[in-house]
Structure formats: C-alpha cells, structure tokens
Amino acid sequence: MTSPAIERLVGHLGKLPGLGPRSARRAALHLLERRESHLEPLLVALRTAAESVRACSVCGNLDAQDPCAICADPERDRAAICVVEQVADLWALERTLMFRGRYHVLGGLLSALDGIGPEDLAIAALVARAGAPEVSEIILATSATVDGQTTAHYVADRLAESDVAISRLAHGLPVGGELDYLDDGTLGTALKARQRLL
Amino acid sequence: MTSPAIERLVGHLGKLPGLGPRSARRAALHLLERRESHLEPLLVALRTAAESVRACSVCGNLDAQDPCAICADPERDRAAICVVEQVADLWALERTLMFRGRYHVLGGLLSALDGIGPEDLAIAALVARAGAPEVSEIILATSATVDGQTTAHYVADRLAESDVAISRLAHGLPVGGELDYLDDGTLGTALKARQRLL
C-alpha cells in the first residue's frame, strides 16, 4: 500500500551495507518525516560527493583532489607503500595514526570463485610504483582471510623482481581480546609468533 | 585526511537510524565506489520521494497522493480507526494484513520529559474524525511503553464524549517467544490476561 516512490527509496537504501530491508524502511521514513533537516542535506551531500570525489590516479584512494591528499602530502614518507584491498582499509589504517607512508589500493582480492584475476586489480600499477628509486618497502596489508592471503602471496611474487623489502601485518591477539573468545586459528598463530620478553 | 565532501556525506548518512559512525563510513565508501549503480539511483530516488511524498491530510500517512491510498480506498472499512504513534507503526500493522479499517497517525507520544503535549500531536483531528457518523470503533495501537500507555489513556479520555467503542491491542507473549527469555512484566500481563481454552 506504500507509494512506488517510497518503495524505490527503501530499495536503494536497503543496498547500503549495514541496512537490512527493515532498517531501510525505518531510514526512509526517518528521512521523509524530516525533509528539511535530514533529507535535503543528505541530497546535497550526495550530489556534492558524486560531483567532486574521484579515485586518486596514483594510489586509488577517494578524494576531492587528484593526486589525493595523502599522495600529495610532502610530509609523508615516500619510502613505504602500504597495499590494501579497498579504500575502507586505507581509512582504517589512517585512523591508527601509525603509518606515515603512502598507500596502494588494489580494488579487491583475487578470487577464483568470483572470477577476479590479477588483471582486475591494480597490481601492474603497484609493480610500476615499486620500481621507483625512492621506494624501499612494500607492506602487504590485506585481510587475514584465504583470499586476502592468496592475494598477498601473489603480489609478493610479482614484486620479487623489485629491489624492495616486502612485509605483511602481524597476526595475533586483537588488543583487548579475551583468549577465551578467540578462534583457534588466531590463538595458534599468536602462540607460534610469540615474542620473548626477557 | 579524507575530503570534506566525504566527511559531510558520512555525517549525514550517520544520522540515519541503524547506521552508526562506522557503518556510515562504510556506506559512504560503498556509494562512492559504485557511483553509476548505487549512488546515482539513490540520488534520483531521494529526489523523487522528496518531491512527491506528502503526509496524508486525513490520517497522516506518507504517500504520493493525498488523501493517501488507504484513506482513498473504497474497500477499506470506514467504521474502524486504528491510532498509531508514527507512520512506521502504520506500515507494520499493514504488513500483518489483519486490519482493513483506516488509520490515524498521532505524530508522536505525550512526553513530559521531551516537552511534548497534546497540542503537539494530531489528537484534535482524531476527536473530529471520531465524531463522524460512520466511525464506530477507535483502536489505540500505541506501544506498550510508559509514554505509549499514557498517551493511550489521554486519547481515550478525550474520546470519552464520542459515541465510539475504544479498544487497545492485547498484551501478552510475542508469537514464538520463549517463556524463559521473557521479561517479568510481559509474563505477568500474559498470566493476568490468560484466556480460557475449554
């Protein structure tokens, strides 16, 4: 009984990650009931972002400038490139404030099941960047999943010719994680990679 | 380090119910990485809904037509009016396919804390509708919360002069609910309102 315009809005909101059909309905209502304060500003923000935000031609980050603010920042260390699956991972690493180098967004992971091969990812561009004289380390920061690790191995192979150090993120206990609740794989890895204190 | 255009989009998405700051960030990225397939259609759907959807002048439902499809439907029973807090509740009741009457959206609940009094809700309009000769029953379908029940009592008082039956939704076990997991209030109410089988 709801109008097609509302149903379409619910449908498109429901495609957002984190919003199921029920919360998409709630979100649509929320917007329609707060036209001035919420719907219009969201419309403007979406339009502005759609018009201004582009993928960085160097690293693949999303930004209103190209090269992106990270690639263009002269303060960032040009020796290290951190390779991530997607822009979300780049942002997550940025939030840690622990990495001052630059990034490279692969745009996905190798996956036989989904038919994603090396030519679908920004691997050739990474190999080209790794060849630059100022680059001395490539950090493979893909997820600790099967596809993530497969991709990391493949990328490491492709970089073998380059004269750069290749590293990957440490695996182990998440900070604040209770042993009791941890999966066996993580626990086993943490045990194998134990670090001597004294 | 992310551009202001992205931050603004994240901010506005984060105001949607069900999306926290983290999922708003994921949703923004999801849209920006799928401009053609997701961002543009959402933009169009939002604009269309903003332009076409209005509150029904009779019941307060949201629809592209006024009166809304429910109020305009000659098949719906004009004797019963179901009073709900908000449009989401109306839609939830519609999904049950169990009610064939019409609705009245109060637009909120009485709340001393939030400073919401009777004049902020569509109560006068309800009293007027209840006075129509074809109306014989008002069903108070507000939530089983303190504010919901206070509002129901107040509305019932205001309708006391009208020549209509006033009912409220039954309280008791949710269908599929396990006794073990039920709060004491619901369980007590269900016991008090027990129904004889034989």
B62-63 and B54-55 strand pairing: antiparallel
The CATH number of B76-168 is 3.40.1360.10
Q: Return d(Cα B50, Cα A26) in angstroms, integer.
A: 16
For chain B, positions 49-78, list CB contacts with chain A under 8 A.
Answer: 49-50, 52-53, 62-65, 69-70
Of A1-5, A88-92, B80-84, give the range with the top mean pLDDT. Answer: B80-84
The top-level CATH class assigned to A4-52 is: mainly alpha
Per-residue pLDDT, B185: 82
Boundaries of every domain in chain A: 4-52, 77-168
Per-residue pLDDT, A178: 79
Min Cα distance A160 → chain B (Å) is 30
Say if residue A177's pLDDT is above 90: no
> Domain A77-168, what architecture?
3-Layer(aba) Sandwich (3.40)
Q: Which helix (H) or strand (E) holds B32?
A: helix B21-33
Q: Tell me what percent of the residues of chain A surpass a pLDDT of 70.
A: 98
Size (chain A), residues: 198
Question: How many other C-beta atoms are found inside a 10 Å radius of the C-beta of residue A55?
Answer: 18
Per-residue pLDDT, B130: 95
pLDDT < 70 stretches in chain B: 1, 197-198
Q: Which helix (H) or strand (E) holds A55?
A: strand A54-55
Average pLDDT in the A9-24 region? 92
Confidence band of A100 (pLDDT split at 50, 70, 90) = very high
* Two domains, one topology: A4-52 and A77-168: no
Say if residue A25's pLDDT is above 70: yes
Residues of A in contact with B28 (CB under 8 A): 49
Contact B91 A41 (CB under 8 A): no
CB of B27 within 8 Å of a chain A CB? The answer is yes
Question: How many other C-beta atoms are found inside a 10 Å radius of the C-beta of residue B186?
Answer: 16
Residues of A in contact with B49 (CB under 8 A): 5-6, 8-9, 28, 31-32, 39
Say if residue A117's pLDDT is above 70: yes
Per-residue pLDDT, A1: 56
* B66 Cβ contact list (under 8 Å, min separation 6): B54, B55, B56, B57
Nearest-CB residue to B42 (from A17, A32, A46): A46
Per-residue pLDDT, B117: 95
A102/B168: higher pLDDT = A102
Per-residue pLDDT, B22: 87
CB of A48 within 8 Å of a chain B CB? The answer is yes
